[in-house]
């Protein structure tokens, strides 16, 4: 993969810890202007200060925070070369956000969809790339357009909602590539050794079982860095990568073009129907 020229701007969400913080550091070292987006004010400001980036704080539990974030980014950056939707996670106990949506669905799908939509004109003008962190867990997800907020299904410690949200990420990126003039990719970073999922009993069990095959956060950040910074990716627009390998294994629904379009429309309706924060 050939590296892009330096002095480009990347908006990197979920950059206050884990693979996001590592990617922010490495991209800044390579000369990128990094917008460090995180939920925790202290950690976000600390990462930004340490790499010479700019801190932006947003809590994805509140869609108004996402709207405010988009406004700040548009006021700060006349050009955005890459948007990396890396924020998200798994919520062990089902709960709704201030906007009335299940938290995992909002964190992993609604909020990045909204942010991308609000930045779309700027991204298009910049001929930008969008990359979104998905997961191999998409394979046990299932999108039900009549139950996007997981009200009718067993929650199972959040893992079903998580897998479904990552399947939605793949579908979103494929539909974004089709509907826009942008290049867009989703990826699985690998089974990264972090504190992810440890707020639920099911998550703690799963992480213990996975510990023998886990990789370091530094290794997990490599696909994010490369997909953001490589000028030429030998893969069709909209591809899902497993690490740096395009065409990763997905649930059957990930190839359903009709579902991708219907999910896009349903997401727009959900955002329009969201309660005020």
Q: Which pLDDT belongs to residue 75?
A: 98
Q: Which pLDDT belongs to residue 198?
A: 44
Q: Which pLDDT belongs to residue 215?
A: 84
Please provide the DSSP assignment of the chain as one string: -PBPPSS-EEEEES-SSHHHHHHHHHHHHTT-EEEEEESSHHHHHHHHHHHT-EEEE--TT-HHHHHHHHHHHHHH-S---EEEE------SS--B-TTSSBHHHIIIIIHHHHHHHHHHHHHHHTT-EEEEE--GGGGG----TT-TT-SSS--GGGHHHHHHHHHHHHHHHHHHHHHSSSEEEEEE--SB-SSTTTTSHHHHHHHHHHGGG-B-HHHHHHHHHHHHHBS--SS-TT-EEETTEES----GGGG-HHHHHHHHHHHHHHHHHPPP-
Q: Which pLDDT belongs to residue 7?
A: 78
Domain regions of the chain by residue span: 9-272
Which stretches in the chain have pLDDT values below 70?
1-6, 193-213, 274-277
Q: Which residues are catalytic?
A: 162
Is 141 in contact with 80 (CB distance < 8 Å)? no
Please give the CATH superfamily to which domain 9-272 belongs. NAD(P)-binding Rossmann-like Domain (3.40.50.720)
Q: Which pLDDT belongs to residue 211?
A: 44
């Amino acid at each position: 993969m050939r590296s892009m020229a330096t002095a480009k701007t990347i908006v990197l969400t979920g950059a206050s810890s884990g693979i996001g913080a590592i990617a922010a550091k490495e991209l800044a070292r390579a000369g990128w202007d990094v917008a460090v987006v995180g939920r925790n004010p202290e950690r976000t400001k600390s990462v930004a200060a340490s790499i010479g980036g700019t801190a932006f704080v947003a809590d994805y539990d509140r869609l108004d925070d996402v709207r405010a974030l988009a406004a700040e980014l548009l006021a700060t950056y006349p050009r955005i070369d890459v948007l990396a939707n890396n924020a998200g996670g798994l919520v062990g106990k089902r709960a709704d956000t201030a906007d009335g949506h299940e938290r995992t669905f909002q964190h992993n799908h609604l909020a990045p969809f909204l942010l991308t939509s609000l930045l779309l004109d700027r991204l298009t003008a910049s001929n930008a790339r969008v990359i979104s962190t998905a997961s191999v867990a998409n394979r046990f997800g299932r999108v039900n357009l009549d139950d996007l907020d997981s009200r009718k299904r067993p929650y199972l410690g959040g893992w079903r909602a998580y897998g479904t949200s990552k399947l939605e990420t793949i579908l979103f990126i494929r539909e974004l590539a089709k509907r826009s003039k942008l290049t867009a990719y989703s990826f699985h970073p690998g089974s990264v050794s972090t504190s992810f999922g440890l707020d639920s009993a099911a998550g703690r069990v799963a992480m213990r079982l996975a510990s023998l095959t886990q990789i370091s956060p530094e290794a997990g950040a490599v696909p994010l860095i490369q997909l953001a910074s490589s000028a030429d990716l030998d893969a069709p627009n909209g591809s899902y990568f497993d690490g740096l390998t395009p065409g990763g294994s997905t649930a059957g629904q990930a190839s359903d073009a009709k579902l991708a379009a219907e999910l896009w429309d349903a997401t727009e309706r959900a955002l329009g129907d969201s309660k005020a924060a």
